[in-house]
């Protein structure tokens, strides 16, 4: 269970102000809000890529303060997917594979995300949907205790977006881990999430 308590963050202007959020054991929460409302900043603070000015983040009762991103066990799929352009599909996913795990897991994961036989494909040759699946597979193979998704479907057209949302939801649910899905599209939020949290300029949520 994730618990964010009174998180504040400002750059030149205030982005988050005393923001509270709780996510249950295998719950998928959609964070819905306009551009600049602090959604992505909150995700970056949760996974440790940025520090909050104040507030506390507890994950399964452990305070994450001071813990570097690589030690938090939280996965993230970026908006631009951040697939390594110099590695092929197989090696991108292998990057997320824990050291002691079997290489065979990569093929299983590729099958799970519907990309069987894509192993040697270069990243540049993938379509938007395929890239999105690879990014998700890479994050999931690391066996994260929680996954954060920062508008990973935003570049896709609406029909692909909807079908893929359902697939992603199914996949995350099968792993029984909590997830936060950031979007500004209410339709996708409804399809994906168990619960929707609205975030606006004043960071009020409900």
Partner 1 sequence: MKVRNLVVISWIILVILPLILAWNQLNVVAERNIFEIILDFNNKFQTKNSIFFTFIVAFFSMILTLIIGLPLAWNLGRYKWRYHNFLRSIFTVPFVMPSILVAMGFLALLDFLDILINHNHSDETRFYTLLFAHAWFNVALVIRFCEPLLSTIDRSYEEACRLLPSGKTKISRLRYFWLPLMWPNIAASSALVFVFSFTSFALVKFITPAERNLEVVMANQSEWAGLPVPSLSRVPSEIVLASSTIQLITILLALSIASWLQSQSSGFHLLSLKDGRIRVPFKSLRGVYLLLMVMFIVSPMISLISSSFMIRENGSMIFSLQGWESAFSGSHSPTNAYESLKSSVEYAVLTVLFSLPLGFLLAESIFNLEKTNPKFATFLDVFVMLPLALSAVMVGLGVLLGLMRTEPDLARSWWIPLYGHLMLTTPFVVRVLLPAMRNLNPHLDEAAALLGANYLKRLISIRLCLLKPSIIVACSLVFAISLGEFGASWVVLRFTEYTTLPVMIGDLLSRPGYDPILRPAANAAGTILLLITLVLFISVERFRPLGSGGEF
Query: Contact positions toward partner 1, by CB under 8 A?
Result: 47, 49, 68-70, 74-76, 78, 80, 82, 84-86, 95-96, 98, 138-139, 142
How near is the Cβ of 85 to partner 1 at its closest, in Å?
7
Which is nearer to partner 1, 49 or 62 (by Cβ)? 49
Cβ contacts of residue 79 below 8 Å, gap of 6+?
A: 40, 150, 151, 152, 154
Grouping H, G, I as helix, E, B as strand and the rest as coil, residue 9 is: strand
* Dihedral-angle region of residue 34 (phi above 0 means left; psi in -120 to 50 means alpha; beta otherwise): beta
At closest approach, how far in Å is the CB of 167 from partner 1? Answer: 21
Compute the least distance from the CB of residue 50 to partner 1, in Å: 10
Closest to partner 1 by CB, 101 vs 205, is 101
Query: Three-state SS for 62?
Result: strand
- Which CB atom, from 120 or from 159, has the smaller least distance to partner 1? 120
Closest contact distance (angstroms) between CB of 98 and partner 1 is: 7
To partner 1, the closest distance from the beta carbon of 51 in angstroms equals: 12
* Structure-token match 């750059």, residue found: 11
Q: Which is nearer to partner 1, 64 or 191 (CB)?
A: 64
Backbone angles phi, psi at 124, to 5 degrees: -65, -20
Contact call for residues 2 and 178 (beta carbons, < 8 A): yes
Closest to partner 1 by CB, 115 or 135: 135
Least distance CB 68 / partner 1 (angstroms):
7
What does the alpha-carbon distance between residue 130 and residue 134 come to, in Å, rounded to a whole number? 6
Query: Of 34 and 82, which has the nearer Cβ to partner 1?
Result: 82
d(Cα 32, Cα 11) in Å, to the nearest integer? Answer: 21
Residue 183 has which token pair?
């979007």
Query: What six digits make up the tokens of 76?
Result: 């993230």
Of 91, 116, 86, the residue nearest 103 (C-alpha): 91
């Amino acid at each position: 269970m994730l618990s964010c308590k009174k998180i504040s963050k400002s750059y030149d202007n205030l982005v988050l102000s005393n923001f509270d959020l709780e996510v249950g054991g295998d719950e998928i929460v959609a964070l819905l809000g306009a551009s600049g409302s602090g959604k992505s900043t909150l995700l970056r603070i949760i996974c440790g890529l940025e520090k909050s000015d104040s507030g506390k983040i507890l994950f399964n009762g452990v305070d994450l303060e001071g813990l570097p991103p690589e030690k938090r066990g939280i996965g993230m799929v970026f908006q631009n997917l951040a697939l390594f352009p110099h590695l092929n599909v197989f090696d991108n996913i292998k990057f997320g594979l824990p050291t002691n795990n079997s290489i065979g897991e990569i093929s299983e994961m590729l099958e799970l995300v519907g990309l069987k036989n894509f192993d040697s494909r270069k990243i540049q040759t993938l379509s938007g949907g395929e890239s999105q699946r690879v990014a998700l597979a890479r994050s999931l193979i690391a066996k994260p205790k929680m996954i954060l998704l920062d508008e990973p479907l935003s570049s896709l057209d609406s029909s692909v977006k909807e079908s893929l949302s359902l697939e992603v939801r199914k996949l995350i649910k099968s792993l029984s881990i909590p997830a936060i899905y950031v979007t500004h599209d209410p339709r996708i939020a409804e399809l994906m999430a168990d619960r929707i949290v609205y975030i606006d300029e004043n960071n009020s949520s409900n």
